[in-house]
Amino acid sequence: MKKFVFSLLSILLLFATILPLASAAEAETTTAAVKSVDDFKDLKNLPQDEKDKFDALIQDGVFNGLSEDSFGVNARMNRAQFAKVAAIIFNLETDASLTTSSFTDVRSDDAANSYALPYIEALKTAGLTNGYDAEGKTYRPAGDVSRQELAAFLIRGLGLDAEAQAATPVDDSSVDDWAKGYVALALEKNLLTNLSGGKFDGKASATRKMLALASYAAKQILAGGAPEEPATEPNPGNETGNEPAAPGGEISAEGKKLLFVTRQSSQMTQLKETPDDEKIINRLKDLGFKVTWVNCDKLTVEKTEGYDLVFVSNTLNSKYLRSGLLKDVAIPTVYLKNHGMYYLGLSSQEENTNEYNITSTSINLPKEKAAAGLSGDVDLLLTTDNKTAIAYGLPGKEAKVIATIPGKPKEATIFYYNKGSHADNGYEVKARLSFFSFAGNYDNATADSWKLLDALVLWTLQNG
C-alpha cells in the first residue's frame, strides 16, 4: 500500500513538470524560492479546502506554476502525458526498451510523444485502455484526456472495473454509453463531480485541477480511506457539451441561425492542423445556435439574409471585408477581427493591433451584461510570450468599451456599438456590432475568456 501512495506522490511531481505549456516555465522556477498558494493569482479564489491541498503540494515542491504568478489550473494534459501519469500512479511495469507499439499512431520516431510509448503499452497490458477508436487500433497520443476517460482510467486503475460494469449507469446525455458505469462509480466514490450545469460533461477535457484533485481522491482510496466529497467544478468553458445560458430575461440563442464567416476556400486544409474554427463553432452550437459557415471569399450580402447573427472568425482574410461589404447588413455581428470594425470606421487603426507578453484584460464596465459578471483584471490566456498576442481595437466615442489592455485604456479588447449609434466618421450602425479579442490558439484561452465570449455573443444577439 505504501508503494501505491509513494507512486501517486511521484506522479504528482511528474504531472507538474511534463505539461507542454509548463516545460520551459517550470524548469526555470523549480530552483526558485518555495512559493505558496498566495503567489499564484489563479489559485487565490479557490475554496479554502482546495487551497490547502494545493498549498501543501506547492510547499512540498510537488507542483510549480506555469509562470511566476500563474499556476495553470485550467491547463490540460494530452493522452501521451497522461499515460505516463497513470503508469506511475498505479505502479505499472514498463519496458523502456520498447520501440514498437500495439497502436498504429504511437511511434518511436514521433518527436513529441515517443517517450510515452512504453507507458501506453503498460496501460494496454494492464487493461486500463483499449485505445481510442472502436477497433483499438489507435491511441491518439496528442489528444486531450476527456473527463469520462479520466473516470475510466481511475476506476480501472483502482481495480474497480467489475463494480463499474455492475453499477447503475448515469442518466446523463453528456456521457457516452460505454462510460456511464465508470462515471457513476467515479461520482459515487467522490473521485470526480458533476460540473456546475448539473451534467458530467464526459467529452470535455480534464483540466490540471481536476486531475490533481482526482489523484488525491484516488490516494485516499488506495490508503484504505474514503475521499472527501469534492466541490462542484465549473464548466471548463471551451468544450462541447457545455450549456451556457442566455442572460436572464433576454432573447435565447436556442434555434437561432448563425452565419459563421471563416477562412478562404484555399485554406480549408489548414483545419486539419489548426481546428480553431471548429472549436468556436462547437461553442456556438452549445449556446443553442444553428450554425452555417461560409468562406470569406464566397461571402455576399445575399448570403447573410435570414440569419439572426453573423460571426466573423479571426481566420478570415480581411481583404474580403475591405470594401465595407457588410456596411448595410442589418444583422447583429460579432467580429474577432479588428479589421472588420476598421473598414466600417468603428476602429481607427487597421494593422498592428496586438499586445504581446500579457495574459489579462481589464474590465471597465463590470455591470454590463457583456462583462459576464467579471471585474478587475481577468486572464484571457493561460500563457503568453513574444509571439502570443491579445488583440485590440481603437473604437470611437460612441462605442461601449467593456474591457481594455491593462494600463492602456484606449486599446479595447471587448467593445460594441448599439444599433443607431455612429462611428466617428458618421457611419450609422444598422444592428449591434461587437468586437472580441481572440488572436488565435483557442486551447490557450481561459475559462473566463470563453465566458466573456459567450456573454458578448448573447448580448450582441439582443440587437439593442
Q: Which of 247-261, 342-356, 364-378, 388-402 has the lowest mean pLDDT?
A: 247-261
pLDDT of res. 197 = 67
Provide mean pLDDT across the span 391-402: 95
Of the segments 209-218, 363-372, 394-403, which one has the largest average pLDDT value?
394-403
Q: Map 150-171 to HEC letters.
A: HHHHHHHHCCCHHHHHHCCCCC
Q: How far is CA 49 from CA 62, 211, 277, 388, 447, in A?
A: 18, 16, 38, 34, 21
Question: Is the pLDDT confidence value at 393 over 50?
Answer: yes
> Torsions phi, psi of 321, nearest 5?
-105, -5
Ramachandran class of 392: left when φ > 0, alpha when ψ lies in -120 to 50, beta otherwise: beta
Total residues found in the chain within this entry: 464
pLDDT of res. 238 = 39
pLDDT of res. 233 = 61
Question: Is the pLDDT confidence value at 46 over 90?
Answer: no
pLDDT of res. 36 = 81
pLDDT of res. 226 = 54
Q: Which of 4-13, 297-306, 432-441 has the lowest mean pLDDT?
A: 4-13
Q: Is the CATH code 3.40.50.880 the one for domain 257-461?
A: yes
Q: How far is CA 320 from CA 41, 62, 146, 316, in A?
A: 41, 51, 38, 8
pLDDT of res. 18 = 41
Question: Is the pLDDT confidence value at 252 over 80?
Answer: no
Q: Which of 62-71, 227-236, 391-400, 437-446 has the lowest mean pLDDT?
A: 227-236
Mean pLDDT of all residues belonging to the chain = 81
Provide the pLDDT confidence category of residue 44 given band limits of 50, 70 and 90. confident
Please name the residues in contact with 305: beta carbons below 8 A apart, sequence gap of 6 or more. Answer: none
Which sequence spans correspond to the domains of the chain? Answer: 2-222, 257-461
Distance of alpha carbon 63 from alpha carbon 30, whole angstroms = 9
Question: Is the pLDDT confidence value at 342 over 90?
Answer: yes
Of the segments 58-62, 91-95, 412-416, which one has the largest average pLDDT value?
412-416
Provide mean pLDDT across the span 456-463: 92
State the CB neighbour count (10 A cutoff) for residue 316. 26
Distance of alpha carbon 378 from alpha carbon 360, whole angstroms = 5
Provide mean pLDDT across the span 321-327: 90
Residue with the larger pLDDT of the pair 174 and 17: 174
Q: Percentage of the chain with pLDDT > 90?
A: 39
User: Cell digits for 132?
Assistant: 481510442
Residue with the larger pLDDT of the pair 202 and 33: 202
Q: How many CA atoms lie within 13 A of 164 on its CB side?
A: 24
pLDDT of res. 17 = 41
Distance of alpha carbon 161 from alpha carbon 181, whole angstroms = 9
State the CB neighbour count (10 A cutoff) for residue 386. 7
Provide mean pLDDT across the span 200-217: 82
pLDDT of res. 19 = 42
Provide the pLDDT confidence category of residue 121 given band limits of 50, 70 and 90. very high
Provide the pLDDT confidence category of residue 10 given band limits of 50, 70 and 90. very low
pLDDT of res. 70 = 76
pLDDT of res. 63 = 56
Question: Is the pLDDT confidence value at 14 over 50?
Answer: no
* Amino acid residing at 217: A
Distance of alpha carbon 251 from alpha carbon 167, whole angstroms = 41
Provide mean pLDDT across the span 48-75: 70
pLDDT of res. 20 = 40
State the CB neighbour count (10 A cutoff) for residue 79. 24
* Amino acid residing at 374: L
User: Cell digits for 424?
Assistant: 466617428
Residue with the larger pLDDT of the pair 113 and 100: 100
Provide mean pLDDT across the span 410-431: 95
pLDDT of res. 2 = 43
